[in-house]
Amino acid sequence: MQIEFFRKIRDGLYPSRLDSYGGDGAEEVVILARYLLNSALSEALYPLLQSLEICLRNEIDRVVSDEHGTDWITAPAPFLNRKETRQISRAMINLKKSRQPLSRDNLVAEMSFGFWTTLLDVRYERSLWQKVLGQSFRQMPKNERTRKKISSRFNRIRKLRNRIFHHGRIVHWKNLPQQHLDIIESIGWMSPEMREMAEALDSFKATYDAGLNPWKEKIRSHWPAGE
C-alpha cells in the first residue's frame, strides 16, 4: 500500500484517531485493518443495541405505567428525581422544535438510553423497583432478578453503546464476545421474540472470528504495495 495514501487516510480521519490503532510498531496495513475491523464490529453490534434499547424503554414504560399511570412521563410522576424531570422537559422542547406532537409514544421514544438506565439506579430502589420488580424482566431467572444486577448489566452495555455511537475503538476490548452475549441475553430478559430475531440477523461472531485477515486482503487488493 502506498505510504502517501496511508498518510492521506490518516489525516482524513484525524491523526490521533488512526494512530490509536497502532502504538505497537504495527505496519500501516495492520493499523488500517484494525480500524476497518473496528467499524465492522461496531456495525454488527448496532442492530443488537438498537433492539435492546427499544426493548428496555418499552419494558420500563410498561411497568411504570402499570404502577403510576400512562401519563407518568407526559406529566412527570412524583417519584422521578429532579434530574430526570429536567431531561423530560428538554425532550418536550425538542419535540416542539421539530413540530412533533407531545404524545406519550413520541416522548418515550425521545428519551435517551441514559435516561432509561438511570431509572435502574439505586436512587429508584425504594420509590419504584421494590414495587414493580416482580412484574418486570419476566424472562430473567427469578433467583438472579435484582435491580442491582439489572442496573449493572445495562450500564456496562451503555458504555459499549456510547463508545460505538461516538465511533470509538472497541476492537481491543478483550471482553467484547462476552459483551455481545450479554446484549443478546438481556434482550431475551424482556422479549424472547426479539431475541430470536436478533440472533437470526446477528453477524458479530462471524466478523469477530474472521479477525484482521479479510481486511488486510481487501487493503492489499485495492492498494497494492508500490502501486
Cell numbers that stand for 193 in this block? 421474540
Mean pLDDT across the chain? 92
Which domain covers residue 66, as residue numbers? 45-190
Cell numbers that stand for 19 in this block? 494512530
Could you give the number of structural domains in the chain? Answer: 2
The reported pLDDT for the residue numbered 226 is 46
The reported pLDDT for the residue numbered 165 is 94
Planar angle of CA 165, 204, 5, nearest 5 degrees? 65
Quick: pLDDT tens for 14-54: 667 777 888 777 788 898 899 999 999 999 999 999 999 99
Q: What is the mean pLDDT of residues 71-95?
A: 96
The answer to whether position 174 is within a domain reads yes
The rounded distance, in Å, linking the Cα atoms of 186 and 158 is: 12
The answer to whether position 32 is within a domain reads yes
pTM flag (> 0.75): yes
Judge whether residue 78 has pLDDT over 90. yes
Instruction: Identify the residue with better confidence: 12 or 80.
Output: 80
Shared-domain flag, residues 17 and 98: no
Shared-domain flag, residues 61 and 162: yes
